[in-house]
Amino acid sequence: MAYQLYYWPGLQGRGEFVRLALEAAGAPYTDVGRGEAAAGQGMPALLHCLQDPSAVRPPFACPVLVDGKLAIAQTAAILLYLGPRLKLVGASETDRIWTHQIQLTIADAVSEAHNTHHPVGVGLYYEDQKPEAAKVAKSFRTQRIPKFLGWLETVLERNPKGDKYLVGA
């Protein structure tokens, strides 16, 4: 049975990390938000997933991955679930946790990049906080990006397999 991915059509964002994992592994999946409403997919299905009053464990936001009766929200939780199943992480617990740590650090970088556009408040339009955003963006470019990229380069250099990937071969 194919996985079902619920994420906003036309947006890469957090859902793109899940799409990339599914694609890299060649896993069968349906990108529900990008589907046709006539096929029981698209935005109506996506909104139902988020607002279903019968859901005992409702998701807070997209992305949501459905595997049979299991629904998993949050990019990090989805990737933690998919990694071993799609053979995208090592078999040992140490390798799985290390891969998860790398993913969480990348998620931190993405969050900080997003917040450069919304330094006053995420509910405000970018246009309403442009002067503050310019200051934060400069700091992000000169201080934070070099730290994140430097750490990722160190991880690549120290990969015990000597491969070009952050984890394993």
At residue 67, φ and ψ (nearest 5 deg) are: -130, 100
For the cut 80, the answer to whether the pLDDT of residue 162 exceeds it is: no
* Residue 8 structure tokens: 């906003």
How high is the mean pLDDT of the chain? 91
Q: For residues 43 and 62, state if they share a domain.
A: yes
12-29 pLDDT tens trace: 889 999 999 999 999 999
**What number is the average pLDDT over the span 120-147?**
93
Backbone angles phi, psi at 66, to 5 degrees: -115, 130
| Residues 68 and 108 reside in one and the same domain | no
The residues with which 71 forms a beta bridge, in sequence order, are 66
Q: Is residue 58 in a domain?
A: yes
What pLDDT, on the 0 to 100 scale, is given for residue 76?
96
Domain contains 164? no
Q: Is 126 found in the same domain as 103?
A: yes
Query: Residue 104 belongs to a domain with what CATH number?
Result: 1.20.1050.10
Q: Are residues 77 and 102 in the same domain?
A: no
Q: How many domains does the chain divide into?
A: 2
Interatomic CA distance for residues 159 and 168, integer angstroms? 7
Whether residue 140 lies inside any domain: the answer is: yes
> Which domain, by its residues, includes 68?
3-85
Tens digit of each residue's pLDDT (9 = 90 or more) over 79-113: 999 999 999 998 899 999 999 999 999 999 999 99
Kindly state whether residues 56 and 115 are assigned to the same domain. Answer: no
The answer to whether residue 169 is domain-embedded is: no
pLDDT at position 149 over 80: yes
Q: Is 70 helix (H, G, I), strand (E, B) or coil?
A: strand
CB 109 within 8 A of CB 92: no
* Per-residue pLDDT at 41: 84
- In a shared domain, residues 38 and 105: no
